[in-house]
Amino acid sequence: MDNGISLYPGLENTFEENLRLLNVAAENKVKRIFTSFHVPETNFNEFQNQFNQLMKAAAQNEMEVISDVSPAALALLGAKKLNLSLFRIRGIRRLRLDYGYDSDVVSELSRNTCGIGLQLNASAVTADFLSELEQKGADFSRMDALHNFYPRPGTGLSEGFFKEQTKLFQKKGIKVGAFVPSFAGPRLPLRKGLPTMEEHRRLSLELAARHLCALGADSVFIGDGRPSDQEIKTVAFLQKDTVILKVKAEVQNTQIKNLLQGVFTARLDEARDAVRAQEGRDVFRDVSVEAENTSGRSFGTVTLDNNNYLRYKGEVQLIKNPQPADEKVNVVGKIIPEELFMLKYITPGKKFSLEFI
């Protein structure tokens, strides 16, 4: 995944603090940086002092810098009109086009020869606008999209709208990213986090990021500018198109536990009562699964069919509807309560993985 962090020169971080965050991201193979010129609290002089040095460090680490474009952005860069070569010279490799640019301008910009990629606003661009771009010969291969973040509580996107907008772009072959908030260093002035989705304001960065992956996001950015090293590492190691669930372990056998933490695929023939892993029986084909902890199975229970189930031995299930105890079925873990909602995203054909705690 092409995930990223956000840096805001001239805001509250010193140059040294921003440079350290950039280096931590680079060390963890995070290759993208989002920066915004729209923050009213930005100190213009400090911005000018930091920006070029940070862009140089980004280039040395082969990181792509994404900047929004607006009259305010042009002013901070000392320009009166949109000149792509100016952005290229300053080290910016992708421009996020916000309000005020019509389909004619965007189409033309997408065919630029400066090596600048474009980024559309995934939260605001409509189906009609995308159709106009298509009709005018816009080069979608030079574009991706990124949702907004929302500093004020109560203004973030709903899950339904997020999914609808994301699919709108992905149907055109355009990858879509979104923001999660940092709880280590929420950005001023409100310090309430910078999430794309409103419900992520109450979740940990890790769970919010995994939720975005489950919803099909192609990239995840930390919106706030003072994340912890651990939050950066979390974003660095996300798995695309995989629902990762934390599970309280109820199995002692180390070999079985390790095998259960692989990547599985939900069967296409969806069962009413459980998510069935299509690889389970093959994974455990040559492993003896002795009967143990054959207790009742509540919603969110993870089970493994034992040797008594004969040719079904090794079947891995995530329980959706409660089922009684069965001497042929071992209870190997339970999805932790705060992550039970993630079970609904494991639809037929979706990959999932278990992380025992």
Query: What averages of pLDDT result for each successive group of 10 residues across the chain (357 residues)?
Result: 96 96 98 88 88 94 90 67 82 86 93 94 96 97 97 98 98 98 95 98 96 96 97 95 96 96 98 98 97 98 98 98 98 98 97 97
| DSSP 8-class letter at 188 | T
- Per-residue confidence (pLDDT) for residue 1, from 0 to 100: 92
Nearest CA among 240, 230, 222, 233 for reference residue 4: 222
- What pLDDT is stored for residue 76 in this prediction? 66
Domains of the chain: 4-240 (3.20.20.70), 245-356 (2.40.100.10)
Give the relative orientation of helices 229-236 and 15-27 as an angle to the nearest 10 degrees: 40
The pLDDT of residue 75: 67
